Structure 1
Amino acid sequence: MQLEFHQVDAFSDRPFAGNPAMVYRLDTWLADELMQRIAAEHNLAETAFLVREAQGWHIRWFTPATEVPLCGHATLASAHVLFEIYGETSERIEFIGKSGPLSVSREGGRLLLDFPAMPSIEVGVTIDIERALGVEVVDVLGAAELMVVLDSEQAVRDCKPDMAVIARLPWPGVIITARGEQYDFVSRYFAPGLGIPEDPVTGSTHCALIPYWSRRLNKLSLSAYQCSTRGGELFCRLEGERVKIGGYATLVASGKLTVG
């Protein structure tokens, strides 16, 4: 059996930047174990699998180590593949994932994710968190992930976390963030327990980052940059209980995987 795949650099308008994701459009679901093995074979932060069902496009996301309930960049990549490779004619694609309904629409040359907002609550600074990051911490909050606020963009860029300590924290991953110099805010994301030491650009973390920085900066539209080595630019907007996360996507490879 051969399966067609497409690799897309999400949150980038050029190759070899942003966050790479692998996308498979399937006729029917594969066994969970096989999808996990395929994701491990590609060894990217996320591999997305899509199946058209009666209610719409169902989407599932796998890291090299596990299935996750929500992924922004692989959803953006999936929409790009459906629009550009498979000729989806609508201006808005509805997805159904483990976190509920999601959508991606076209807006001025960019793709725009519509995701649930995830406001964070105060957690408090602990010795384990400071030891994991090795930097002075301003604030610590929690939503789906642990979110740690630092005092400057440079502190975010310079941070060299202890991945072994982060993997032992009781959170799927850790976001570090600060007010930006050229952007409203910057961030980085570490999830070694999920098989992702550092994710290049993470759409889903912005479900918590956007409400936080919208409140801090008293504005609904925000510019963001995830300052990993590859880096990626995100265009953000808070709309009530939803967030809009915009970005570009670039196809970099297509091929076929032989299974069995």
Structure 2
Amino acid sequence: MKLTLFQIDAFTNQLFSGNPAAICPLEEWLEEDKMQKIAAENNLAETAFLVKNGEQYDIRWFTPTVEVDLCGHATLAAAFVLYHHLGEESNEIVFYSHRSGQLRVAKDGSLLTLNFPVDQIHEIDFNWEQFKGLSIPAKEVLKGKTDYLFVYENESQVANMKPDFFEIAKLKARGIIITAPGDEVDFVSRFFGPQSGIDEDPVTGSAHTTLIPYWSKKKNKSQLEAKQLSPRGGELSCELVGDRVKISGECVLYMIGEIYV
């Protein structure tokens, strides 16, 4: 079987930055084991598989090791592929995930905007004496549906954080988000997910379903600008709209290829 595979850099307007994702459109679903093996072979943070279902597209996301509940950058990349390479003409694409429900991506010129449900987060007590995964203790720790959120005083602490991925992997979560107020933007973040086969994710759209409601409340504003401080880096325009978040960014095509499975 021959399949077309697209590789897209998401949340950036230039190659070799943002977060790379592989997008694999399908006529019908492959066996789960085969999709997982394709994702492992791609060895990117996520590979997204799409199947058209009426007026919407069903979508699933795989890291090199596991299927995940939600992935923002691969959904943004999937919309880019549909708009620029597969003839989609609507102003908004509706995706459906059996794990996360309905997700939407709207197009305005080169800008694509995710419309995702907010994460439900709550503050927790955290035992820093037993946790050696981060070089600096956070001032506040919260827990969402799948991730921990560690809040710091300033951008420098986030940028200079030295994670111990072996220790982080012991936490029962998809991964951890670290965040602080930004020097030039509203907030900055990094995401570590060794539990999911990704030590540090370049730009994590799904993490912003946690970050946006948190920083919107702290800063008393609904529209926010954000940066993810990974080595590749990424920029996101964010908005809180009720129980949904809008996360906007651009994408760039890196590669179109064929795989044989």
Q: TM-score, normalised by structure 2?
A: 0.97
Paired residue for 1:182, among 178, 181, 184? Answer: 184
The 1:177–1:129 alpha-carbon spacing in structure 2 relative to 1, beyond 3 Å, is: farther
Contact persistence 1:39–1:64 (CA under 8 A): yes
Corresponding position: 1:115 with 2:116: yes
The 1:128–1:26 alpha-carbon spacing in structure 2 relative to 1, beyond 3 Å, is: farther
Give the number of equivalent residue pairs. 259
Question: For 1:243-254, what aligned pairs fall within 5 Å after superposition?
Answer: 243-254=245-256
TM superposition shift of 1:130 = 5.0
Contact persistence 1:119–1:212 (CA under 8 A): no
Structure 2: gaps of 5 or more residues: none
TM superposition shift of 1:129 = 7.1
CA distance in 2, matches of 1:182, 1:251: 28
Residue identity matched to 2:29:
W
SS in 1 for 2:178: strand
TM superposition shift of 1:55 = 5.6
Contact persistence 2:128–2:137 (CA under 8 A): no
More off after superposition, 135-144 vs 118-127: 118-127
CA distance in 2, matches of 1:108, 1:253: 21
Contact persistence 2:131–2:167 (CA under 8 A): no
CA distance in 1, matches of 2:129, 2:212: 26
Partner of 1:15: 15
Identity across aligned pairs (percent)?
49
Corresponding position: 1:51 with 2:67: no
Paired residue for 1:213, among 212, 215, 220? Answer: 215
Corresponding position: 1:231 with 2:246: no
Partner of 2:34: 34
More off after superposition, 196-205 vs 163-172: 163-172
Structure 1: gaps of 5 or more residues: none
CA distance in 2, matches of 1:108, 1:226: 23
Paired residue for 1:204, among 200, 206, 212? Answer: 206
Contact persistence 2:94–2:104 (CA under 8 A): yes
Kindly provide the CA deviation profile for residues 92-117 of structure 1, in whole angstroms up to 9, marking residues without a partner as x: 00000120000100124310000001
Please provide the CA RMSD for this pair: 1.1
Runs of 4+, deviation exceeding 3 Å: none
CA distance in 1, matches of 2:112, 2:23: 16
CA distance in 2, matches of 1:193, 1:80: 28
TM superposition shift of 1:8 = 0.3
CA distance in 2, matches of 1:43, 1:28: 23
Residue identity matched to 1:105:
A
Contact persistence 1:128–1:165 (CA under 8 A): no
CA distance in 2, matches of 1:30, 1:180: 43
CA distance in 1, matches of 2:75, 2:61: 9
Partner of 1:4: 4
Partner of 1:132: 133
Kindly provide the CA deviation profile for residues 208-235 of structure 1, in whole angstroms up to 9, marking residues without a partner as x: 1000000000000000000000000000
CA distance in 2, matches of 1:64, 1:87: 29
Contact persistence 2:11–2:251 (CA under 8 A): yes
Corresponding position: 1:73 with 2:73: yes
SS in 2 for 1:50: strand
